[in-house]
Structure 1
Amino acid sequence: MSLNGSDQDPWAKPGQSQPDNNTSKDDKKSDWTSNSGNKQRNQEQSPPDIEEIFNNLLKKLGGKGTGNGNTSKAPKPANLGKLLPLAVVIGAVVWGLSGLYTVKEAERGVVTRFGKLHSIVQPGLNWKPTFIDQVTAVNVEKVQELKTQGAMLTQDENMVKVEMTVQYRIQDPAKYLFSVTNADDSLNQATDSALRYVIGHMSMDNILTTGRAIVREETWKALNDIIKPYDMGLEVIDVNFQSARPPEEVKDAFDDAIKAQEDEQRYIREAEAYAREQEPIARGDAQRIVEAATAYKDQVVLNAQGEVERFRRLLPEFKAAPELLRERLYIQSMEQVMAKTPKIMMDGSTGNNLTVLPLEQILGNNAAAKAEPTPNKENNTLPRNLTTNPARAVLNNTTENNNAVRSDIRQGRFN
């Protein structure tokens, strides 16, 4: 078929006749080359194809893409369904392992779920859902310490610089974290308030001298009363009153007063120690005196009872021979009296003359004679019974006389 009465090449330009067989192939090649160049220019100017990018991504993941990238229909990702469950499993394992945590022995873990208190976990290995629960570790065994100090006004309108230390421990972790905004700062403010209250109700002399223990006890009590309504989960273990100093202008005078107070306490302790030392000695002496008096009383009573019993036994003899018993008692009494005197009076057999013997010298000579290696027995002029027992000599001399001589002796004695 021909157009306009002549055959025309469909690949020829309009208005041109059918080319020769020799030139048709070259023209076709040049036309294809020009068309492909135009197509590449259009691709460079147009935005990237999303399908082509997705196919390239599937190739990297292991899928099969188009050979030249010019196909109009992309292949289906055949391995994507197999990789998705594996990725889910790996993600779940990583998420589960990220929730493991450890709470130390001295700590307690406060668990919050989406910001709200959920539970309190004990020490050990625990697990929490990541991105859902948050765990805050709180040490409940550590003894913490805070200090407060400042210049405070006393009851007598004096300024005193005071320092105090408070030792506390966390008792309830949940209340410690959520009852107040900052439990440590709240405790510090409460301590300062309690200390100022106590100092304001005491005089300066009392604070600096003998009232230190009172300040400590009263501050501890006031601090517990202040923090009790807040329920902060804290336990106050101890309150230490560190120091109290007067202003620098009157520091020397107060130092002298404190030294005098210390000297007073020292003297009191020394006196108490001396009293504790002397008290047992005095009690021992008192007990000894009481026991000696008791023994003397018993002795006197027993002696009196013995004398009474002796006189009872002598009563029948006195009734039988009164004169003889009277003489016998007289002699016994003289024996007891004369045994205690250093001199002896001897009554002569006739007359009323009394002879006084120097018994001290006699006894001294006898002692010297005994001390000599060869004593002279001829120098002993007194009888043996007189030197050994002077009272017995009187008794022997008396018993040797007759009744007439006895009457003379009795007469000379009463004269």
Structure 2
Amino acid sequence: MAWNEPGNKGNDNDPWGNGGGGRRGNDQGPPDIDELIRNLSKKFNALFGGKGGQSGGSGGSGGAGVSAGMLGGLVVLAAVVWAAMGFYTVDEAERGVVLRFGVLQNEVVMPGLRWNPPIIDEVQKVNISRVNTRSYSNDMLTTDENIVTVSISVQYIVLDPVRFVLQVRDPQRGLDQAVESAVRHVVGGTTMDRVLTQGRADVAAEVRERTQSYMETYQTGIQVTQVNVENAQPPVAVQAAFDDVIRAREDEQRAQNQALAYANRVIPEARGEAQRIIEQANAYRDEVIARAEGEAFRFEQLLTEYEKAPSVMRERLYIDAIQEVLSNTSKVLIDVEGGNNMMFLPLDRLLSEASDTTTGATPRLQLNSQQIRDLADQVSREINSQSGSDRARVQSVPVRR
């Protein structure tokens, strides 16, 4: 008899512990699948308070109560876990955008500790203070049909978190496409020379304005703060030629600066020299005029005195003229009366022997009237001593320097 047949008295052991079946002898048969399913169904019913739990009398009722309490505890525990999952923190630099079942809520979540029902609400946090940077590099065609390689960097911030999250599916990709379009438009309308040299700042400003207009049109919530042209160079095949052109322009600018510096130095000097010559000419003019006027006045005075005493004035004018002429010469004239015995005294050589040993110049010896008289007296005494009886009178004409 099988272990699960009704006539079995428990001689065969039930492998599932029901005591309703057994085995005959030492032979063990396979379990009954239907009975196994029924037993599992009873246990699940008892666990969740089903009718199968009441077949055991009063003990079954107690098991149903325990199962209901466990179910309630599990429900409470699940509710606590669900509520705890709704707490989150928004940083100071962030703002939160709340979607409830996919519908945008009006209020933007501000910084702090916040709670939203999980699964029901979806909160997306957006950093609105961080400056983000995107770099781009590509070959572009200029308006003069030259190819130039331009590398730029774009800095931007998120100005409107709601638009940044909802209006565009991928805001950063939209920014990339807008920047590339703006760069190609600006570079395509600019000559290569302007892009490579002094026009980089203007190109960057135009690209920023055009990109920002695109972002406002798309309503991405992005504000472009800065665009920098990091590098702009011609293709590699012609790089050497363009480097030579750039060096030539730098040399031209340096030459212009040197010429300007020279002009700034020479022109003031020339103006000062011209002013000095003008002042000297004015001074010479005033001097000549004043001297001419003085000579004219002196001549008038002499004429007046000459009319009063002509002979006296003639003699006086002669003496003054001789004195003026002889005062400019180094000759000494000695007149000896009563004989020709005269000692030669080279006064001009004596006057010219005094020389400056340091410079090699020969300055003239300056003698006053008294010194010349003393020198003439010495000459007279020497002549008198040589002649013996003849007395000579030496007359010396004073020479004034």
TM-score, normalised on structure 1? 0.56
Which residue of structure 1 aligns with residue 153 of structure 2? 166
Task: Indicate whether 1:135 and 2:123 are aligned.
Answer: yes
Counterpart CA distance in 2 for 1:232 and 1:338 is 111
AA aligned to 2:176 is: N
Counterpart CA distance in 2 for 1:264 and 1:239 is 26
Which residue of structure 2 aligns with residue 263 of structure 1? 247
Q: Secondary structure at the match of 1:163?
A: strand
AA aligned to 1:273 is: N
Which residue of structure 2 aligns with residue 239 of structure 1? 228
> Taking structure 1 as reference, are residues 298 and 203 closer, same or farther at Cα in structure 2, changes over 3 Å only?
closer
Counterpart CA distance in 1 for 2:48 and 2:354 is 149
What are structure 1's unaligned runs of at least 5 residues? 1-32, 59-64, 351-357, 372-381, 390-395, 400-415
**Paired residue for 1:365, among 353, 357, 362?**
353
Indicate the RMSD between aligned Cα atoms, in angstroms: 5.5
AA aligned to 2:102 is: G
> Taking structure 1 as reference, are residues 288 and 72 closer, same or farther at Cα in structure 2, changes over 3 Å only?
closer
AA aligned to 2:38 is: P
Counterpart CA distance in 2 for 1:190 and 1:69 is 76
Task: Indicate whether 1:281 and 2:252 are aligned.
Answer: no
Any idea what the Cα deviations from partners look like across 1:138-177, whole Å, max 9, x if unmatched? 3331322131424x4444555x253332312223222222
> Taking structure 1 as reference, are residues 317 and 136 closer, same or farther at Cα in structure 2, changes over 3 Å only?
same
AA aligned to 2:329 is: I
Contact 1:109 1:121 in 2 (8 A): yes
Counterpart CA distance in 1 for 2:279 and 2:86 is 93
Residue 285 of structure 1 and its aligned partner are, at CA, apart by 1.0
> Taking structure 1 as reference, are residues 182 and 45 closer, same or farther at Cα in structure 2, changes over 3 Å only?
closer
Any idea what the Cα deviations from partners look like across 1:258-283, whole Å, max 9, x if unmatched? 13421322222322331343244224
Residue 133 of structure 1 and its aligned partner are, at CA, apart by 2.4
Counterpart CA distance in 2 for 1:298 and 1:138 is 84
Counterpart CA distance in 2 for 1:366 and 1:226 is 100
Residue 203 of structure 1 and its aligned partner are, at CA, apart by 4.9
Q: How does 1:287-326 map to 2 (within 5 A)?
A: 287-289=271-273, 292-293=276-277, 295-296=279-280, 299-300=283-284, 303=287, 321=305
Counterpart CA distance in 2 for 1:206 and 1:109 is 45
Contact 1:164 1:241 in 2 (8 A): yes
- Of 118-127 and 360-369, more deviation after overlay is shown by 360-369
Contact 1:101 1:126 in 2 (8 A): yes
Which residue of structure 1 aligns with residue 392 of structure 2? none
AA aligned to 1:274 is: Q
Contact 2:204 2:227 in 1 (8 A): no
> Taking structure 1 as reference, are residues 304 and 114 closer, same or farther at Cα in structure 2, changes over 3 Å only?
farther
> Taking structure 1 as reference, are residues 54 and 223 closer, same or farther at Cα in structure 2, changes over 3 Å only?
closer
Task: Indicate whether 1:98 and 2:85 are aligned.
Answer: yes
Counterpart CA distance in 2 for 1:387 and 1:270 is 73
> Taking structure 1 as reference, are residues 388 and 290 closer, same or farther at Cα in structure 2, changes over 3 Å only?
farther
Residue 134 of structure 1 and its aligned partner are, at CA, apart by 2.0
Q: Secondary structure at the match of 2:114?
A: strand
Q: Secondary structure at the match of 2:249?
A: helix
Any idea what the Cα deviations from partners look like across 1:356-403, whole Å, max 9, x if unmatched? xx99976651236999xxxxxxxxxx88228999xxxxxx8499xxxx
Counterpart CA distance in 2 for 1:181 and 1:359 is 122
Task: Indicate whether 1:47 and 2:38 are aligned.
Answer: yes
Q: Secondary structure at the match of 1:242?
A: strand
Which residue of structure 1 aligns with residue 189 of structure 2? 201
Which residue of structure 1 aligns with residue 179 of structure 2? 191
TM-score, normalised on structure 2? 0.57
Counterpart CA distance in 2 for 1:369 and 1:73 is 149
Task: Indicate whether 1:223 and 2:211 are aligned.
Answer: yes
Give the percent of matched residue pairs that are identical in Structure 1 and Structure 2: 25
AA aligned to 2:210 is: A
Contact 2:207 2:227 in 1 (8 A): no
Contact 2:162 2:221 in 1 (8 A): yes
Contact 2:133 2:154 in 1 (8 A): yes
Which residue of structure 2 aligns with residue 408 of structure 1? none
Which residue of structure 2 aligns with residue 108 of structure 1? 95
Which residue of structure 1 aligns with residue 379 of structure 2? none
Which residue of structure 2 aligns with residue 405 of structure 1? none
Counterpart CA distance in 1 for 2:211 and 2:262 is 46
Residue 100 of structure 1 and its aligned partner are, at CA, apart by 2.4
- Of 36-45 and 280-289, more deviation after overlay is shown by 36-45
Which residue of structure 1 aligns with residue 394 of structure 2? none
Residue 220 of structure 1 and its aligned partner are, at CA, apart by 3.6
Counterpart CA distance in 1 for 2:267 and 2:347 is 46
